[in-house]
Amino acid sequence: MSSSSTDNIIERLGSKIVIASGNAHKIDEFQSLLKAPNRFVSQRDLGVVEVPETGQTFLENALIKARNAAKETGLPALADDSGLVVAALSGAPGIYSARYAGPDASDQENCQHLLQAMTGKTDRAAFFHATIVFLLHAEDPDPVIAQGRWHGEILAQGQGDKGFGYDPLLYLAKQKKSAAELTARQKNRLSHRGKALRQLLTNLSKRFQA
């Protein structure tokens, strides 16, 4: 979807939109993908503290974050919950991706923990998943929801220094690179978050069309 189409959708909403995340990397990706930076503000810039992610699914966690941001700011909210799903680990780390190695684990620690868990596994199939939701207000009974997946395989060791999270470990056969070896433009075109956000904008356009 073009930037002009994005602007048209956002203009119909009549206000700024808060991105319900304190993750600087995610916020940068959102801003890059949305191509309308003046329309969006991160919750950290408004002093909103991150809410505990107590849901049991990506959708539940995304809704928790969006409702909290909308309640605290009085603005429409956009939130995502995302993670890495590995077949050989019965779907782990899944919704616990950001804290796989512990509550305050770094990306490097999470990646190392994953590599240890994958020792001896022959099935390396995995995918990144993103669920994105949009709420007009905290009690919005009809959230706009979109999802995206990005399939690949888990490498035996990390490759590349771009991106964040588990990007160095997801190998993309078609590109013959890890997710961390892609340019930002390539990643935005291919990634789970890019797919989900483009679908969300389409869904928003349908909901708010004149």
| CB 148, CB 164: distance < 8 Å | no
Closest CA to 169 of 82, 80, 84: 84
For residue 141, CA distances in Å to 43, 63, 68, 134, 144 come to 22, 11, 14, 11, 10
| H helices, E strands: number in the chain | 6, 7
Determine the Cα–Cα distance for residues 59 and 79; give it in Å rounded to an integer.
10
Spatial distance between the Cα atoms of 106 and 30, rounded to a whole number of angstroms: 21
Per the CB < 8 A criterion, the answer to whether 153 and 160 are in contact is no
The answer to whether 197 and 34 are in contact (CB under 8 A) is yes
Active-site option among 80, 81, 104, 167: 81
In terms of Cα–Cα distance, which of 4, 136, 122, 130 is closest to 69?
136
Q: Is 81 noted as a catalytic residue in this protein? A: yes
- Annotated catalytic residues are 81
